[in-house]
Structure 1
Amino acid sequence: MGAFSFAAPSTHYLRFQPDEFAHHLRLRGSSYYFRQVIPRLGEITLSLRTGDRRTAKGLCHRISKSLSTRFAAVTTQPITSQQRLHEILEELREDARDTLRTFISENEMDDLDSLRWAKEVTQRRIQRTTGEPEDFIKLHAKLEFLEALEAKMNGNAMKLVTLAMHGATGALGEIAQQPSPKVLLASAEALQPAASSEPSDDYSDGSTAGHTFAQLVEQYTHEQKMKGKWSDKSELEAGAVVRILTALVPSGPVDGLTRKDFVRVSELLSNFPAQASKRFPHVADLRELALMNHAPDVLMSITTQNKHITRLSTILKWAELNGLIRKNLAEGLVKEKGGRASEEKSAFSNDDLRLIFRCIAEKRTPKPYKTNRNGGNPIQAFHYWVPVLGYYTGARVNEIASLRPQDVRQVDDVWCIDICQQNDGNKRTKTRAGDRIVPLHPELLRMGFVQFALKAAERECPRLFMELKMSPNGYGGTVSNWFNGHPDKSHSLYLRAGIRGANLSFHSLRHSFTTNMERARVDPITLKRLVGHAMDDMTYGRYSKGINPQIAFEELSKLPSLSDDILVPFEEWMPSMA
């Protein structure tokens, strides 16, 4: 096949070499798909409706040959506009569909499965048609015709009688007498409306029953990454969720599942342990894990269960919108929390916070089994600063752990930390509203945080806490492991500090911050901006220009100083860093 070219609207020529016009064959589920890219125009993708590779290859070559001939013909004509380029692509797509229809009518329509597929296509056309009433009438007539033909092929005389009573198509006598389904299906094609009056059918919407949940997950994940919607961390977090969901959703085509199957998935999630990979590292079968008996305090919280259910519904909704399944049957399974959100996660009390600060002051921060080369316990800078910053700024663990020297700066003569997202993939905020300026609390100034940041800048350190290494959960992964400990809470910092309680973690520092700020009657809008929450009100969310550092500093100063009589400045606590 020679090179193709045509004049673009800008008068220069676009040329297509034979290798650019190559076609591809791909197996998805139980069916092969044809895909051909038309460079700088678009692509054509069709489900070949067969799982036989030899048949698929033959049909693939047939469609490609037809397309190349058609393409050579249309490009000999002058191109006057961009609209004409789109028309050419649609003409090529329609030609590919015609070739596919011809092949099916000649070779496959004696197959009852193919007949049922023709019914599904017609039903989808009925749902999608937005043309004249005559179009709907023709499509319904075709559907009834196909149902009558299916009844004949199944030997179901009663079905024929029922259709006759409803006045199906007026051609039931022909159906009863005609021995060849191919002839009858040719008649059925005549009943459909013209291509110009109904939405085009690309035959590639994948609504075949062959898509398993695992296959949908693979395609969904690929699209999210290609569109740049997921960071590497997002993919890892989602991967942990979908591994559980894939194990709990019954195997086999999703379109073969029922609402009851997805209700059962929700029930299994309610009996699934939190942090399963740490608690049960030797159990490979996650479905088996969901069927075991677990203590109530080991199970996932309602919030976590709902995150999994929401992810399941999101994937199936995406598959439905892309025509990969008929319907999302996991919608509406989110569970009621049964209380205020604040009751699900605990905050540290002020007495708890003092115990944590005393633990830091006494340098009981390293894990008991950790020793340095000299046999002593290795204290590190993050042991001092990260919990302190967690309480006095209300920032999230990864926001603190990824701070850089240049993020500590003066804004309108007020020392602040700039919590922002960078494009290097190493420094991220959780949400768009998470990008914010947070003034330094007076206690942080007393402790010497500004001097600590300036010295890190002098040493040209890329980050404030160089001892923290990147992990699948970001730089904060090391902090969470150190502060929260194992799921059984052994070796957690707050346990060494003498604190006991359920639902406690590093995030509890953030809850303590907001609780104490609310008790101090801090302006709610300022508080939302300080913690990086989105504004619900359009006036504040869209038109406000952000936080005023001086006002925010005054409001932040209302937060109780709980460490001033406990912690010495950092340079005294760790002289080696001075």
Structure 2
Amino acid sequence: MTINQPSQTGTNLLQTALAKPYHYRRSGRYYLRLRPQGTAKGFFTLSLRTTDKATAMTISQDILSTLKAYHLDNPEASWDELRERLLDIAEYSLTMAHGDSSLVAYEMINDEHHQALREASAKLPLSVNQQRAVSKALEIIEASQERMKGRSGNLVEIVKGLKDEHCSTSVALSPSLSVSSSERLTFKALSALYMEERKDSIQASTMRDVRSSCEAIATILGDLDLKAHTREDMKNLRDKLLEDRKPSTVKKLLTRLSTVMDWAVHNGYLDKSFDKGLKPTKGADSSREAFSQDQVKALMAHAKTLPVDAWLRWALSLGVIAGTRIEELRQLTKADVKQVGDVWVIDINRNDGKTAKTKNALRVIPLTDGAYGFDLKAFLEFVQRADSRLFALGAGRFSELLNGLIRDVLGVKADRTQTFHSLRHSLAGALKAAEIPVGTAESILGHASGSISYDLYGAGSAVEVGRMAEALKTAFL
């Protein structure tokens, strides 16, 4: 990162609001530029170290969040405000998951942040609180680098120290979300606190599931004071849930319970929780069933009878040969069908307002010409005729028609045992039967901790995509 300081004006990035960030591409790589409002001088320029736009935007958002977290545009920030932001950064650095590519990316980003903060501390007229925050931020960055090498002890201590300081400081909470030591704490109130804190970091579709799960748990726990709950209370909850739900559903609900309870303990709302080891094991496997190979072939045989300009033909075909989630499929655009090396792929990304279940879901999936009779040439012609999005329907109608077609073709029940999502299970089974390495299968399905690659058009990406393409060809034999 380079800091270009303005001459004469005395303006600096730590004492003025930032203008809208500007992204640009040079020699194939993406860069982020930040400048103070009201001037063309005094800007940060940061290489995002990638030629993939989706990856660049993700990293850019992390950087912008970090700059805001340090209050670089607010010299009047109090130490308590700065400390709270530093704690957020430290906790995120401690708990975020990394793949091989993101380890490399964040190591470089941390290095550049460290250099920029040192320069700011040495050269710019910072307030006492800002200097104190910069000093602590440097410690966090150094500890974050150690954590990415498997040594998290220093970062744990920093988080603990910032939290202990918080406990010794009187900080007023919003009246609607405050919890005093003498008040009862129900699961309804606790889950509301959890959802309020996580609302900006959880996808809207996931938040709906979180809210639904928490409401189901809160209905049973009622007015129980979790500050005094017992193991027996948690066992009773499990038994009540099992009365009218499948074990697989109860397992998911108890997973959500543990997430909220762990968060409550870590954030000082509860001293302890007794929710571990409750999940049912018998019958707890997912109730979703894969389609048999005969069923998959029947679906593709029907797809080939549909007109080449029918969206249902290609939606069903891509579900079979790519194993996408239904919302990943619905959001595909014309630009998402591309070539990497000699391989045609679909690109699952968050460009243009699209959403993805997790960061690990961001990936490319090779298209296998001839798989179950899939006609790649005809599909590319369909893509060429599309305006922007390949499928114009909203989420509800898209799912309704696609799942309805599957039920009509196969005669399966509308009980959610076999749905469009079952095609992912079928592809996973085919990859396993073909003895495809787990890492390659995960990259295709979007389960990998570091799916392909941070640099989609880099020197090694065509090799990686080629390996995935060969794996799919083997699975479809």
Q: TM-score, normalised by structure 2?
A: 0.57
Determine the structure 2 residue equivalent to 1:271.
243
AA matched with 1:415: W
Question: Is 1:449 aligned to residue 379 of structure 2?
Answer: yes
Question: Is 1:357 aligned to residue 300 of structure 2?
Answer: yes
AA matched with 2:236: R
- On the 8 A contact 1:224/1:230 being kept in 2, the answer is yes
Determine the structure 2 residue equivalent to 1:322.
267
AA matched with 1:255: K
Determine the structure 2 residue equivalent to 1:313.
258
Residues 232, 41 of structure 1: alpha-carbon distance in 2 compared, 3 angstrom cutoff: same
Question: Is 1:415 aligned to residue 415 of structure 2?
Answer: no
Q: How does 1:340-379 map to 2 (within 5 A)?
A: 344-360=287-303
Matched residues in 2 for 1:535 and 1:13: separation? 39
- Structure 2, unmatched stretches of 5+, are 1-11, 17-74, 82-125, 134-159, 173-178
Give the deviation of 1:511 after TM superposition.
1.5
Summarize deviations over 1:42-75 as a string: whole Å, max 9, x none: 559xxxxxxxxxxxxxxxxxxxxxxxxxxxxxxx
Question: Is 1:493 aligned to residue 422 of structure 2?
Answer: no
Residues 417, 264 of structure 1: alpha-carbon distance in 2 compared, 3 angstrom cutoff: same
**Does the residue aligned with 1:497 lie in a helix, a strand or coil?**
helix
Q: How does 1:445-484 map to 2 (within 5 A)?
A: 445-446=375-376, 448-456=378-386, 459=387, 461=388, 463-466=389-392, 468-469=393-394, 475=395, 477-484=396-403
- On the 8 A contact 2:322/2:365 being kept in 1, the answer is yes
AA matched with 1:493: L
Question: Is 1:41 aligned to residue 78 of structure 2?
Answer: yes
- On the 8 A contact 1:209/1:255 being kept in 2, the answer is no
1:257 to 221, 229, 241: 229
Matched residues in 1 for 2:171 and 2:233: separation? 28
- On the 8 A contact 2:338/2:347 being kept in 1, the answer is yes
- On the 8 A contact 2:303/2:317 being kept in 1, the answer is no
Matched residues in 2 for 1:313 and 1:231: separation? 20
Give the deviation of 1:254 after TM superposition.
2.3
**Does the residue aligned with 2:344 lie in a helix, a strand or coil?**
strand
Summarize deviations over 1:445-471 as a string: whole Å, max 9, x none: 446111111111xx3x2x1101x21xx
Residues 445, 496 of structure 1: alpha-carbon distance in 2 compared, 3 angstrom cutoff: closer
Determine the structure 2 residue equivalent to 1:556.
472
- On the 8 A contact 1:359/1:496 being kept in 2, the answer is no
- Structure 1, unmatched stretches of 5+, are 1-9, 15-37, 45-78, 87-128, 131-195, 273-298, 366-378, 470-474, 485-491, 562-578
Give the deviation of 1:388 after TM superposition.
1.1
Name the count of aligned residue pairs.
317
- On the 8 A contact 1:408/1:415 being kept in 2, the answer is yes
Matched residues in 2 for 1:514 and 1:433: separation? 16
Give the deviation of 1:333 after TM superposition.
1.9
Matched residues in 2 for 1:334 and 1:556: separation? 35
Determine the structure 2 residue equivalent to 1:400.
329
AA matched with 2:357: K
Determine the structure 1 residue equivalent to 2:187.
213
Determine the structure 1 residue equivalent to 2:90.
none
Residues 242, 334 of structure 1: alpha-carbon distance in 2 compared, 3 angstrom cutoff: same
AA matched with 1:497: V
Q: What's the C-alpha RMSD, in Å, of the aligned pairs?
A: 3.9
- On the 8 A contact 1:206/1:324 being kept in 2, the answer is no
Matched residues in 1 for 2:130 and 2:299: separation? 68
* Larger Rg computed on CA atoms: 1
Summarize deviations over 1:296-348 as a string: whole Å, max 9, x none: xxx33x33212211211221222222222332232332222568x5x753211
- On the 8 A contact 1:250/1:261 being kept in 2, the answer is no
Summarize deviations over 1:180-228 as a string: whole Å, max 9, x none: xxxxxxxxxxxxxxxx999737497733333222211211111001xx3
Matched residues in 1 for 2:231 and 2:382: separation? 57
Residues 206, 322 of structure 1: alpha-carbon distance in 2 compared, 3 angstrom cutoff: farther
Determine the structure 1 residue equivalent to 2:198.
224
Matched residues in 2 for 1:399 and 1:552: separation? 19
Summarize deviations over 1:486-527 as a string: whole Å, max 9, x none: xxxxxx433322444782121111111122233334344322
- On the 8 A contact 1:436/1:532 being kept in 2, the answer is yes
Q: How does 1:159-170 map to 2 (within 5 A)?
A: none
Determine the structure 2 residue equivalent to 1:384.
313
Give the deviation of 1:409 after TM superposition.
0.7
**Does the residue aligned with 1:211 lie in a helix, a strand or coil?**
coil
**Does the residue aligned with 2:365 lie in a helix, a strand or coil?**
strand
**Does the residue aligned with 2:276 lie in a helix, a strand or coil?**
coil
Residues 245, 495 of structure 1: alpha-carbon distance in 2 compared, 3 angstrom cutoff: same
Summarize deviations over 1:396-445 as a string: whole Å, max 9, x none: 11111111110001111321111122362xx2222322211211110344
Matched residues in 2 for 1:335 and 1:85: separation? 50
1:243 to 215, 221, 232: 215
Residues 252, 265 of structure 1: alpha-carbon distance in 2 compared, 3 angstrom cutoff: closer
- On the 8 A contact 1:41/1:85 being kept in 2, the answer is no
Question: Is 1:512 aligned to residue 441 of structure 2?
Answer: no
Residues 499, 325 of structure 1: alpha-carbon distance in 2 compared, 3 angstrom cutoff: same
Matched residues in 2 for 1:326 and 1:253: separation? 13
- On the 8 A contact 1:415/1:439 being kept in 2, the answer is yes
Residues 235, 13 of structure 1: alpha-carbon distance in 2 compared, 3 angstrom cutoff: closer
Matched residues in 1 for 2:237 and 2:427: separation? 37
Question: Is 1:234 aligned to residue 206 of structure 2?
Answer: yes
**Does the residue aligned with 1:558 lie in a helix, a strand or coil?**
helix
Determine the structure 2 residue equivalent to 1:200.
168
Matched residues in 2 for 1:198 and 1:231: separation? 29
Matched residues in 2 for 1:197 and 1:440: separation? 54
Residues 250, 257 of structure 1: alpha-carbon distance in 2 compared, 3 angstrom cutoff: farther
Determine the structure 1 residue equivalent to 2:157.
none
Residues 257, 250 of structure 1: alpha-carbon distance in 2 compared, 3 angstrom cutoff: farther
Q: How does 1:118-137 map to 2 (within 5 A)?
A: none
**Does the residue aligned with 1:418 lie in a helix, a strand or coil?**
strand
AA matched with 1:258: T
AA matched with 1:390: G
Give the deviation of 1:357 after TM superposition.
3.2
AA matched with 2:407: L
- On the 8 A contact 1:417/1:439 being kept in 2, the answer is yes
- On the 8 A contact 1:352/1:499 being kept in 2, the answer is no
Determine the structure 2 residue equivalent to 1:64.
none
